[in-house]
Amino acid sequence: MGAALSACAGRPGGKDTDLPCVLLVGLDGSGTTTILYHVKHGKRLETIPTLGMNKEVVKVDGMDFELYDVGGLEKVRALWRTYSKEANGVAYVVDSSDPSRLPQAAEELKKLFFGDKKKKSLIVPDIPLLVLANKQDLPEAVSIDQIANDLELHDLPVRNYKVLPTVATDGTNLRDGFKWMVDQLKLYGYS
């Protein structure tokens, strides 16, 4: 299941393939790995927390692209910057059933796009951002409007963003989300 500890298509040194790369990240427990394998295999697979990263080539709406799931544990989040160097898009997963962690999710998303006091961002501005508001099936889930507001998406240097309510365990809206990402990648000239 995926290649461990390799960078986006041979990155950070350079690409091994011509496929676009989408970075799939979120805080620990948000559901990134479940999403990765549901998009790849069309069904739920049992997963364990990602300690490094998982990589899969997936096909959505006729386009192959590399989907990199980088772990969300606090000690692993520093890897997000490494794997973001040549990302063509970002899919950010939020556990919408845990509103107490939305400020932390917002802070980590800002670090990804703006860097922090010690390090600058490596993401090229003007790439598409897909926010997957996961776990919408749980009674505590907050609305996608609240998530968009709390993440302050309008302040990010992205070309376009979309927020979708999702349920990773049954695949709700995952294909729609990644179809939107494919449409955005096509605007950049990928086919």
Evaluate whether residue 101 is within a structural domain.
Answer: no
Any known ligand binding at 14?
no
Evaluate whether residue 9 is within a structural domain.
Answer: no
Say if residue 86's pLDDT is above 70: yes
The per-residue pLDDT for range 143-173, each reduced to its tens digit, is 999 999 999 999 999 889 999 999 999 999 9
Any known ligand binding at 135?
yes
Dihedrals phi, psi of 84, to nearest 5 degrees: -90, -5
Any known ligand binding at 34?
no
Domain residues for the domain of 170 are 45-61+76-84+107-129+136-175
Any known ligand binding at 26?
yes
Any known ligand binding at 13?
no
Give the pair of three-digit tokens for residue 70.
């980088």
Evaluate whether residue 102 is within a structural domain.
Answer: no
Any known ligand binding at 102?
no
Our count of domains for the chain comes to: 1
The per-residue pLDDT for range 28-70, each reduced to its tens digit, is 999 999 999 999 988 676 665 666 678 999 999 999 999 999 8
**From residue 126, how far is each of 33, 98, 114, 129, 156 by CA, in Å?**
25, 29, 12, 9, 9
